[in-house]
Structure 1
Amino acid sequence: MPPEDPQSIQRLEQARRLLALAQTGLHYTTGVFDRERYEEVAAIAHAQIAEIASMDVARVAELFAFETGYANPKLDVRCAVFNEAGHILLVREAADGLWSLPGGWADVGLSPAENAAKEVREESGYTVDIVRLLAAWDMAKHPHPPSVFHIWKLVFLGEVVKAGKLVGAETDAVGFFALDGLPPLSLGRIMPEQIRRLDALRRSNDVDFD
């Protein structure tokens, strides 16, 4: 998403809040005319997000098509896995060729920890035990590139049980990297300073949260 100046980020946040109000209104309203008004508010918010993000309005509407019911932040679940040398496990995202912690959107029917273990297995081939929660972050409070969604990120600490093969199609490479030798990261998913913070948290037995 191109715009990262404070004014554009503020406008994006306002548009997301406007869209959330419209979505929640559509969920609760029983009136025909109120529904039409909320649908118009949603269309305005789609247009605003599209303009700020340099996206097609139809594409924005498509992204939010399945966002129904009371509006909530989306939940991104990640897993930080370190080896004995203190190197961190990263996977390369097939979509952009950049590296990230294994993880993704939380799946219905699994707990957050189960989601984290599943993502590691699918994206890296490693089976891990989930040790504990390291961080609960609101991505809007960190210097990620702006996103059309409001996202909360949970990061768990994992320990390798055994290695295996990739079973998913979202990643195409895997490796352990020294913290001072990280590959190009997918900054919309994880940032270098966050990886260093996760290392500090696992060493100090602390939890970080926004």
Structure 2
Amino acid sequence: MNLMRLLDELRILSQNGLEYADNPYDKERYERILTLTSQYYGKALSLPPAEVRNRFAAEFGHITPKVGAEAAIFNSAGDILLMQRVDDGTWCLPCGWVDPNESPADTAVRETKEETGLNIEVAKLIDVYYHAPSDEFGPHGRIDVLYHCSVVGGTLELSDEGEALEYWNIDDVPDWHKQHKTYAGDAEHMRSKNA
């Protein structure tokens, strides 16, 4: 049994129940489920339950999975641009969470500028991926949107989020971040198919 998946579903059901319930007894039940969920999330993540509850409270309306966006950028030799992450040393595509009032494509453009200094434009949607809550992906369900992008300006410049920026042959990358090897492979397949 995946505890994170169970807790995420209970959290979503209880928060959505509190949003839509008009009966005080139902609200009390959903509140109790949310309190228990916060306690068990706290134990699983080594966080105080009150802090977990405050994080939950920051989400308004109907609770949905988190949405992120990734940019696949190739050079003329067919190598893909990757950033080595400060937090774990793995290599990833330019990526990040979608901000309010921002499309996933806009996120890919913004995150690439922030992380690499490059100005890009989205050329094509490659795929959309869903990841259930897990120890690898974290306590919430997530959706990642992958775009093939082209550089239109800027200068390659490392941000404080990374240790290095480099164009890699996909087969030579020593340590991939989560599912980014799959993303890069899908992007390479689409690029070679359309070449």
TM class by shorter chain equals 0.7 to 0.9
* Alignment-mate amino acid for residue 173 of structure 1: A
Cα drift, residue 25 of structure 1: 1.0
- The answer to whether residue 87 in structure 2 is matched with residue 98 in structure 1 is no
**Structure 2 Cα separation of the partners of residues 157 and 121 of structure 1:** 15
- The answer to whether residue 124 in structure 2 is matched with residue 135 in structure 1 is no
Which blocks of at least 5 consecutive residues in structure 2 are unaligned?
A: none
Aligned ranges 1:82-161 → 2 under 5 Å = 82-140=74-132, 145-161=136-152
**Structure 2 Cα separation of the partners of residues 82 and 73 of structure 1:** 29
**Structure 1 Cα separation of the partners of residues 89 and 7 of structure 2:** 30
Structure 1 vs Structure 2: percent identity of aligned residues?
27
Q: Deviations over 1:24-62 (max 9, x none)?
A: 0111224444333212101222233344x4432435334
Aligned ranges 1:1-210 → 2 under 5 Å = 7=1, 9=2, 11-51=3-43, 53-58=44-49, 59-140=51-132, 145-164=136-155, 166=157, 169-187=160-178, 190-205=179-194
**Structure 1 Cα separation of the partners of residues 80 and 63 of structure 2:** 34
Q: Is the 8 A contact 1:131 1:158 kept in 2?
A: yes
Alignment: residue pair count: 193
* Alignment-mate amino acid for residue 89 of structure 2: G
TM-score normalized with structure 1 length: 0.80
Q: Is the 8 A contact 1:81 1:89 kept in 2?
A: yes
1:139 to 1:129, Cα distance in 2 relative to 1, 3 A: same
**Structure 1 Cα separation of the partners of residues 157 and 54 of structure 2:** 30
Q: Is the 8 A contact 1:122 1:166 kept in 2?
A: no
**Structure 2 Cα separation of the partners of residues 87 and 198 of structure 1:** 11
Q: Is the 8 A contact 2:158 2:165 kept in 1?
A: no
Q: Is the 8 A contact 1:131 1:159 kept in 2?
A: yes
Q: Is the 8 A contact 2:65 2:142 kept in 1?
A: yes
